[in-house]
Amino acid sequence: DVKVTQSSRYLVKRTGEKVFLECVQDMDHENMFWYRQDPGLGLRLIYFSYDVKMKEKGDIPEGYSVSREKKERFSLILESASTNQTSMYLCASSLYGVSNEAFFGQGTRLTVV
Amino acid sequence: QQQVKQSPQSLIVQKGGISIINCAYENTAFDYFPWYQQFPGKGPALLIAIRPDVSEKKEGRFTISFNKSAKQFSLHIMDSQPGDSATYFCAASINNQGGKLIFGQGTELSVKP
């Protein structure tokens, strides 16, 4: 069964902290994505990666960075957390060039106080 | 800019009724249009998808209608059931960009018994 696992369901962090959100997939997918979900705005793409050590900016990359050292793992980094980064973060993965279906993790609800 | 616009934001339907959610897109390069379903506490999951070479796709009670000239597509849920209560997202992507999806704002569907 396809599985995308995010390391935390809920996180509470303080303003200015460096925050790491981890995502692991067990499907040998090339593509991995980070989205944030906010009411009324849908899902917005933060960063994505088509290969190990490769990354590309999505629509809202400001304040975030990513790391992909291994194929199965894609990390989202908030360099200095701010209250406007309080949101639901969703990781997804997909095969490259075969199907566009994206498989999502269960999400991490991040609150920055 | 919002490349995919979805309406309505919320929808209440009686059991057995038809639920209709609409989306409009701007980029004519989009060539894959999926719908995702999200239950509370879960990540989105692919429900049904269509490519622009067909005008309709049906899977069970779920149908996508696609109007290429109007740049619009819609999801119809026939015989809506309380178990269909969820948030629905339309999305669009370009095939050679793998799973990089542009999402609509989401529709919260509630089916009343």
Write the pLDDT tens digit of every residue in B59-69: 999 999 999 99
Q: Which residues of A touch B105 (CB under 8 A)?
A: 40-42
> Residue B98: is its pLDDT beyond 70?
no
SS3 content of chain B, % helix, strand, coil (to 5): 5, 55, 40
Chain A residues closer than 8 Å to B44 by CB: 43, 90, 104
Which residue has tokens 């390391």?
A7
How many percent of chain A have pLDDT more than 70? Answer: 95
What is the structure's pLDDT at A85?
98
Tell me whether residues A44 and B103 touch, CB distance under 8 A. Answer: yes
State which residue of chain A sits closest to B9, comparing Cα positions: A40
Position B74, amino acid = S
User: B40-56: per-residue pLDDT in tens?
Assistant: 999 999 999 999 889 99
Nearest CA in chain B to A10: B41
Predicted confidence (pLDDT) at residue A97 exceeds the cutoff of 70: no
Q: Name the pairing type of β-strands B19-25 and B107-112.
A: unpaired
Predicted local distance difference test score (pLDDT) of residue A53: 85
Q: Which residues on chain B are in Cβ contact (under 8 Å) with A90?
A: 43-44
At B67, list the tokens.
Answer: 């109007």
* CB-CB neighbors (< 8 A) of A45 in chain B: 100-102
> Is there a contact between B23 and B6 (Cβ–Cβ < 8 Å)?
yes
Nearest-by-CA chain A residue for B34: A101
